[in-house]
Amino acid sequence: MTRADMQALPAPRRIGGLTALAGVIGWPVAHSRSPLMHNFWLAQYGIDGAYVPLPVRPGAFDVAVRGLQAAGFHGTNVTIPHKEAAFRIVDRLDRSARRSGSVNTLVFAPDGAIEGYSTDGDGFVANVEAHGIAVTGGRALLLGAGGAARAIAASLLDRGVAVTIANRTAARAHELADAMRADAEAGAMVDVAPWDGLGTVLPGCDMLVNTTSVGMHGGPPGDLPIDLALATPALVVCDIVYVPRQTALLRTAAARGLRCVDGLGMLIHQARLGFRKWFGTDPVIGAEVEALLDADLRGEGS
């Protein structure tokens, strides 16, 4: 390679002893778009930082987290299957994490404590509001009872939205409802509907939220037991799945003229708190990062 060729190459990124480090822990984790998003923001704001995928096998989570903390990381995101383990390891739980019963964001505080946050619920609400839809009052039908459902239910209740929970395994729906009612603010605003009887519930709802993996690429086969012909014209249909962006549920809703909200915006909005805590900057949610992620999801990204 000639000197001219070398000068034409882009300058290599410098990672040094003062580079702020964070990442995402999961198993598997190669599919995560969080590194693409966070590193875009780091470059956009000229921050000396790096965000990396951290594949950690089940059973090794505690050792990995302590090692990352000792190595000077500022914190991590946590994804499947480690959210419950993250809940157990933290020293200080934010209210968002206490209410949702799970943690998706760890912050390694200067005093040595591990702080735990759940940003899924507020990220969901921020995404809906970014579509010009007010999240206040009314009733939401929530499909699923996992960690994301818990976080979303808590954030909806905080905004005065009554929540009806439906899950294929009824016991988990009742468990989630009881957990939400344990917070004094919730009270009678939470109830449970049978998975095979959603047709009687949907007409009274202003929002439908799918938090299950039905419709996700590589997810379980089959359809959700919901007939959108029974919905009111004002129903807002939300799906937290973002691969693909347009799930079968959203395609059906759009065909009926209902307002739709896909899951990509939730991924972006829920990331803000961690980025702010780790890197000291609150990123602006702009069209550029959504376009970057969308292109990557379509196989057009680098």
What is the DSSP code string of 67-122? HHHHTT--EEEE-TT-HHHHHHH-SEE-HHHHHHT--SEEEE-TTSPEEEE--HHH
Catalytic member of 33, 38, 82, 83? 83
CA distance 15 to 51: 11
Tokens read off for 226 = 């919901």
C-beta separation of 190 from 157 below 8 A: yes
SS3 141: strand
Q: How far is CA 301 from CA 36, 288, 293, 297, in A?
A: 10, 13, 8, 8
Residue 83 appears among annotated catalytic residues: yes
SS3 208: strand
Residues known to be catalytic = 83
